[in-house]
Homo-oligomer: A and B are copies of this chain.
Amino acid sequence: MTNARTWRGRAFLGMSLDGYIAGPGDDLSFLEAAPGKGQHAATPDTVPALVWETFYPQIDTLLMGRATYDKVLTFGDWPYTDKRVIVLSTTLSEDAPNVRVVRSTDEAIEVLDAEGAEQVYVDGGRTVQEFLRRGLLDELTVSIVPSVIGGGKRLFGDGDRADFVVRGSHVEADGLVRITYDILQG
């Protein structure tokens, strides 16, 4: 199977043990709740998963949905000054600062190809699902929070299928079990 893409799609996400990337009402507090503080058995990171400090410098482009873009704006100063940022939205103004707005996944792919993107951080639950389903996601780093939260927005949807290769994994002091997977295509 040939792959004409010049870029790799990469996701980097937190998830509860029961598969949620956000709780009811998009509540993200479970990501910070830190249950069992000081009690977790951290493991050696001799074959580590990616962490933000090793992942972020490798990417040249961020692609995110509108909901994620709005969330980033609440952080204050625009954090991605050194990266190409593409926002997938049917409603966001084309004049939005700091970002390139695209109206569809197809247009996003055109822009990624035309601009010579190479390492694309795909962010936001719906965008990650769409890229996974279209075979456009090559890597997933998932950080499994030591909680079951019982409801919210799932990382994977009904009918999704994928197989993975483990590239690295380690446990952090706060009980995050990080895993970096390569995604096997077709």
Contact = CB atoms under 8 A, between A and B. Distances in A.
The A interface, classified by DSSP as helix, strand, loop or mixed, is loop
A47 interface: yes
Given A46-B44, A171-B47, A175-B165, A151 B146 contact: no
Contact of A160 (B33, B144, B148, B182): B148
Interface residues of A, number: 46
A158 interface: yes
Nearest to A169: B171
A184 to B, nearest CB: 6
Contacts of A19: 18-19
A169 to B, nearest CB: 5
Interface stretch (A35-43, A58-66, A91-99, A102-110): A35-43
